[in-house]
Amino acid sequence: MQITFLGTSSGVPTRSRNVSSVALRLPQRAELWLFDCGEGTQHQILRSELKISQLSRIFITHMHGDHIFGLMGLLASCGLAGNPNRIDIYGPPKLDEYLRACCRYSHTHLSYPIQVHTVESGILYEDEEFVVSCGRLEHRITAFGYRIMEKDRPGRFDIEKAKALAIPPGRVYGLLKRGERVTLLDGRQFDGADFCGPTEIGRKIAYCTDTVYCEGAIELAQDADLLIHEATFAHQDAELAFQRLHSTSTMAAQVALAAMVKLLIMTHFSPRYAPGNNLELRDLLQEARTIFPNTEMAYDFLTYEIPRRRQTELSQARA
């Protein structure tokens, strides 16, 4: 699981930061999932090492322009390239209506199917590897945050041990790999747990923007390996944050602390903190780290590989 930030500015793009979009690359299944799609996102993808042909799912947090203005252009480009088989799009009410209007008035006819899913709090997608859920955040309009959970899987299978015990390969190996108990034709019984290393714990990501500090964000981020949270304002501009229902750097850090996440990466920064101003982004980072030390600051094209942990590591961490 690899995260790439395609846009980290709030409201408007700057010379160095585009507006909101984050890509989740799943190399094990050659898929790309996108979270928000601000104007210019397709250009950012072209400038990255991501493959637009792998795009299969798009998750939209809310209907403000800096999170959706790039969506129709991206979908149209995908159609002209003739790459995707299908793209599923998840988002708040009216997203489907917005896309239909864009297609109608621009006379765009997509050459591949799209399915728009209007989300509600709870699980919205699940397969054999992942569960994606969403929850309400607190913003000026309806907004959702997303939580991506990778399912646990058995540890590495010790094939040499199985061979040494003269266990026949094939279907039996598959059962043992899944941790099941098997009985051979000669009557011997084996427990798959005895042939597998420590369980590989599924990784968890939370994506929370746009929102002021709220319990919904804490719930989505609970025990996450990575929390991506907006930090539009500095702490001294908290009054602005409350007026506009955005977060400060310290609010993002408080969510990370309360949810006991492993790493916080802040994004969605106001252009008012450009270099040379009284307050700069490095000041926001310092503010957050006083509350939650394991905090980093996103920038466009930052890529982060989320490490996998084993059951033994998890037990040690909780001890």
Where in the sequence numbering do the catalytic residues fall?
66
Q: How far apart are CA 207 and CA 269, in angstroms?
A: 15
Torsion over CA of 75, 79, 82 and 87, rounded to 10 degrees? 40
Describe the strand order of the beta sheet including 303-305 as a list of residue ranges. Answer: 114-118, 87-91, 55-59, 31-35, 21-26, 2-7, 303-305
- Look at residues 11, 13, 70, 9 and name the one whose alpha carbon lies nearest to residue 37: 70
Contact between 137 and 216 under an 8 Å Cβ cutoff? The reply is yes
- Tokens for 60, please give them: 């939209």
Element (H, E) at 97: helix 95-106
Angle at CA 129, nearest 5°, toward 128 and 135?
Answer: 105
- Look at residues 285, 284, 288, 146 and name the one whose alpha carbon lies nearest to residue 224: 146
Could you tell me the maximum CA-CA distance found in the chain, to the nearest angstrom? 78
Angle at CA 211, nearest 5°, toward 223 and 288?
Answer: 60
User: What number of residues does the chain have?
Assistant: 319
Q: How far apart are CA 91 and CA 37, in angstroms?
A: 11
